[in-house]
Amino acid sequence: MEIYQSLQNWSQDTYIKAYKFAAHAHQGQKVPGTEISYIMHLSFVSMEVIAALNVEQEYDGNLALQCAILHDTIEDTNTTFEQIKTEFDEAVANGVLALTKDESLAKHLQMADSLRRIKEQPPEIWMVKLADRISNLQAPPHYWTQDKITQYREEAIEIYEALKDASSFLASRLAKKIEDYKAFIE
């Protein structure tokens, strides 16, 4: 039997552990505007990260993927920073916290604040934010107004400008999604 010398820089077992944790944490949540389980979003975000890791092999794939899968746990579930630190490690917990909006701030300040905190983290965390917005630039929920859709696209440009240096693969994919998203603006 041939042993395949993989260049893969992440582990399936690490992925599964994070995914199970997130599946429990997000249990019962749906993708907004649909009846689809919320974890589909986590599958898409982590898939985008894996696609980037295939070609940008200098990154810590386990850090990127754990943060991709867990990125909404502090923001959207009862999960705490301490729990993630205990169950995973401090780098993962710091990454997830940076990816969490500070809801004590006024809404219009939250994105700039989050981007500033993400930029203090390693590039793997920047990649997750790029992958998150790539995944979210699909057809908007039916109840979004034109203003909201326009604003969401502008916010995506802000994310692109702030974080593009972490991954040219994800940056070019996000640029394409931002272009395509014009189709939803009347």
CB of 6 to Mn ion, least distance (A): 28
Question: Which amino acid does the sequence have at 98?
Answer: A
CB of 43 to Mn ion, least distance (A): 11
Beta-bridge partner residues of 30: 37
Q: Are 27 and 11 in contact (CB under 8 A)?
A: no
* Residue 48 lies near Mn ion (rule: CB under 5 A): no
**Which residues in 128-147 contact Mn ion (CB under 5 A)?**
132
Binding mask 64-93 for Mn ion (x = CB under 5 A): --------x---------------------
Count of residues for the chain?
186
Q: How many residues bind Mn ion (CB under 5 A)?
A: 2
56 or 132: CB nearest Mn ion: 132
Which residues are paired to 156 by β-bridges?
none
Query: What is the per-residue DSSP string for 24-71?
Result: HHTTT-B-TTSSSBTHHHHHHHHHHHHHHHHH-TTS-HHHHHHHHHHT
* Residue whose C-beta lies closest to Mn ion: 132
Q: Which two tokens stand for residue 33?
A: 């505007």
Residue 48 Cβ vs Mn ion, minimum distance, rounded to whole Å: 11
**10 or 44: CB nearest Mn ion:** 44
**Cβ atoms of residues 167 and 128 within 8 Å:** no
The binding site for Mn ion (CB under 5 A) comprises 72, 132
